[in-house]
Structure 1
Amino acid sequence: MPGARPERVLVIACGMIAREVLAVKEQLGLGHLDLTCLPAEYHFYPDRIAPAMDEAIEQARSEGYRHIFVGYADCGTGGLLDRICEKHGVERMAGPHCFAFYQGLEAYAKVGDLDMMSFYMTDFLCRQFEAFFIKPLGLDRHPELVADYFGNYEKLIYLAQTDDPALDKVAENAARMLGLAYERRSTGYGDLVPGLAQATSSVADGRTGQDEP
């Protein structure tokens, strides 16, 4: 109906991209987008993502959401997340992981092989470097373990969603501490922008998160 308000769309995302999803929501004026997140620490435990997503979608359905979008790429689930998406008739972000969709899948396809020995960081990982890497790996107590954990990497690549000198400094210092060459790529939000735009615009024709054929 012309002038009707769009139904709510729930994005169930990785906690590592929560800030970015909200930024894109504001950028695109997606007032009908709601967000809930699974724990960011599942980045290190990909086996937990699919079952947690299954439960989260079931919960969202019970709360009345008909339109759901999964704010994850495959993220190390080995196709298990796709099975959950198929089970519930929902879609997810395309690609193998957020490092790919931030760069854009076409751009990532061109550099993926060259980056095989690179350690990626994002805005989130810069903000949480101490909490996600230094303390859990014990590097604050045993800096000599750097070689064991990062010895096979050659470069640290900071995929920057924003221009923040403080985050740049964190990434540069991390590369120095880990003994890696440093590269900064300004990616912005990459494919997250068209991904969320498509997920929310398709509500109008009933293609996203619908159980009905």
Structure 2
Amino acid sequence: MACGALAQPATAIAARKGWPLDVHPLPPLLHNRPERIAGEVRRTAAALLPQYRRVVVGYADCGTYGALDEVCRELGLARLEGLHCYDLYAGTGRLERFFYEQPGTYLLTDFLVRSFARTVLQELGLDRWPELHETYFGHYTRVVWLAQAPDDELRALAEDAAARLGLPLTVVDTGDSGLERALAAVVD
């Protein structure tokens, strides 16, 4: 099973690598409520375990503060390494440098660029209460798009997202090799 934000890239990587696996996406909006991730993984794993020889969790910790690891230990599941999906794309060292250089860095992935209006503006209520903008984003100083498969459409959406936040955009072409390595570690 995979985070809804990682399910599509994970499916593409599996197809490219010829891995015989099914990807079962969980709702990507769980990232707005990370305290619910472990419970959803537990429920989904319970449904999948009788059907499959092996079930792996396509999530990093993602703000569960170890609750996801506890579910994985209890059920004997492997999960992706890292604190969050940004680690999987950019690498932990690169992210540490971004935050060291500019602590007010807001990160986007291709998924977040595509779904920004829904997952950020609508879910945080900024479409209804624009006065919350300063509360949420007042301390950010830039947007870094970790571009897995950049194209003109995604670039325009990333520029729009940064403009909506009133922040400059930095584009870092990451590809999906980090996610591929992380998936290989739990799939192979």
The number of residue pairs the alignment matches comes to: 188
SS of residue matched to 2:38 = helix
Change (3 A) 1:151 1:127: same
- Give the letter aligned to residue 42 of structure 1: L
**In the alignment, what sits opposite 2:132?**
145
Is 2:24 the partner of 1:47? no
Kept in 2, the 8 Å contact 1:103–1:190? The answer is no
- Give the letter aligned to residue 18 of structure 2: G
Higher relative contact order (CA 8 A, sep 6+): 1
**In the alignment, what sits opposite 2:49?**
61
CA RMSD of aligned residues (A): 1.6
Q: In the TM superposition, what is the alpha-carbon distance from 1:177 to its structure 2 partner?
A: 2.1
Change (3 A) 1:13 1:115: farther
TM-score (norm 1): 0.82
**In the alignment, what sits opposite 2:161?**
174
Kept in 2, the 8 Å contact 1:104–1:190? The answer is no
Residue number among 86, 105, 108 corresponding to 2:95 in the alignment: 108
Q: In the TM superposition, what is the alpha-carbon distance from 1:62 to its structure 2 partner?
A: 2.1
Where is the helix percentage greater, Structure 1 or Structure 2?
A: 2
SS of residue matched to 1:139 = coil
Q: In the TM superposition, what is the alpha-carbon distance from 1:36 to its structure 2 partner?
A: 0.4
TM-score (norm 2): 0.92
SS of residue matched to 2:23 = strand
**In the alignment, what sits opposite 1:18?**
7
Q: In the TM superposition, what is the alpha-carbon distance from 1:112 to its structure 2 partner?
A: 4.0
- Tell me the distance in 1 between the aligned counterparts of 2:124 and 2:49: 38
Change (3 A) 1:52 1:115: farther
SS of residue matched to 2:127 = coil
Q: In the TM superposition, what is the alpha-carbon distance from 1:144 to its structure 2 partner?
A: 3.8
SS of residue matched to 1:163 = coil
Q: Can you give the 5+ residue segments of structure 2 that lack an aligned partner in the other structure?
A: none
Q: Can you give the 5+ residue segments of structure 1 that lack an aligned partner in the other structure?
A: 1-11, 202-213
**In the alignment, what sits opposite 1:136?**
123
Q: In the TM superposition, what is the alpha-carbon distance from 1:106 to its structure 2 partner?
A: 3.7
Q: In the TM superposition, what is the alpha-carbon distance from 1:199 to its structure 2 partner?
A: 2.5
Change (3 A) 1:137 1:52: closer
**In the alignment, what sits opposite 1:211?**
none
Kept in 1, the 8 Å contact 2:63–2:84? The answer is yes
Task: Tell which structure's C-alpha radius of gyration is larger.
Answer: 1
Kept in 2, the 8 Å contact 1:85–1:91? The answer is yes
**In the alignment, what sits opposite 2:23?**
35
- Give the letter aligned to residue 3 of structure 2: C
